[in-house]
Amino acid sequence: MGKSKNPSCRLLTIKVLHTVIWAFFVLIILYILYSAITDRIDILTWFAIALIIMEGIILLINRWRCPLTSLGERYTERTDVGFDIFLPKWVAKNNKIIFTTLYIVGVMIVIYRLV
């Protein structure tokens, strides 16, 4: 495991970045759900859906792990659930289940609104 000059600083940077990116994608998923429920489907809805698909492809390529998790492992021996992000452990553990479900529900409502 490669160590940097200041691994704790690098891990903190990864945790902050990971948390910001996570929050961005959560907001996107919530936007999809909101626009579907309120029947305000627009170009941003489709763009949000496409971004989540791209995120899914990145996760698939990385064996369902965020690349930042793999990067964070370089700077610590502690690799328990959520070591690389500022989230409660139960959210970090169930993140994919919770937000994939919300995403699928949102997309299903979008499809329903279109037919």
Segment 55-84 shows an average pLDDT of 95
DSSP label of 81: T
Segment 51-74 shows an average pLDDT of 96
1 pLDDT tier (thresholds 50, 70, 90): very low
Distance CA 2, CA 86 (A): 23
Q: Which pLDDT tens digit goes with each residue over 20-62?
A: 999 999 999 999 999 999 999 999 999 999 999 999 999 999 9
Distance CA 111, CA 114 (A): 5
Which H helix or E strand runs over 22?
helix 7-37
Can you give the pTM of this predicted structure?
Answer: 0.90
In the predicted structure, residue 14 carries a pLDDT above the cut 60: yes
Domain range annotation of the chain = 7-114
